[in-house]
Amino acid sequence: MIEELVQQAAAHTGLSPQQSQSALSGCLFLIDKHGDPDKVTALFGAIPGSAELAAQGGALLGKGGGLMAGLVSKAGGSGGAAMSDGMAMNQQLTRQGVTISDLQKILPLAMNWVKQKSGSDLLREVLLSVPGLGPLLTSQ
């Protein structure tokens, strides 16, 4: 089922399916790592293939994340950790040709897609549970 979202994201952004898959896997990995576990479990249960795609995203985090990501992580507690991981992941995605602009196009598409498939706004609920990032991600 998640492959349908990957294809829609590629068509919507002009990215290749591989780039869209990387972007979505990275986002799902961050959600899995930093989101409320009960809400993440509900999301992954409602969307077949999402947990497996999230597991692939860990490879994008790599080691460290650079000086700025390290400073943000140290300064911000749990919210800083999520922001630090997001910055590190963004660096890896940028190397693959996936920009912030692409991610800004994918997120609303993904939220609508999940709502259509699950009948509720599970993705928004999970995003709001991510310390430091939830309100920023859902304010679009």
- pLDDT, tens digit (0-9, with 9 covering 90-100), for 13-53: 999 999 999 999 999 999 999 999 999 999 999 999 999 99
Residue 108: φ, ψ to 5°: -60, -35
Neighbours of 23 (CB within 10 A): 28
Residue 120 DSSP class: S
Contact indicator for 13, 105 with CB cutoff of 8 Å: yes
- Using the predicted structure, report yes or no on whether residue 66 has a pLDDT greater than 80: no
98: left (phi over 0), alpha (psi -120 to 50) or beta: beta
Tokens of 116: 């259509």
pTM for the full model? 0.81
- Give the residue carrying structure tokens 């919210």: 79
Looking at residue 122, what is its pLDDT? Answer: 85
- Give the residue carrying structure tokens 């998640």: 2
List, for residues 76-100, the tens digit of each pLDDT value: 444 567 777 888 888 889 999 999 9
CA 22, 26, 29, 35 torsion: positive or negative? Answer: negative
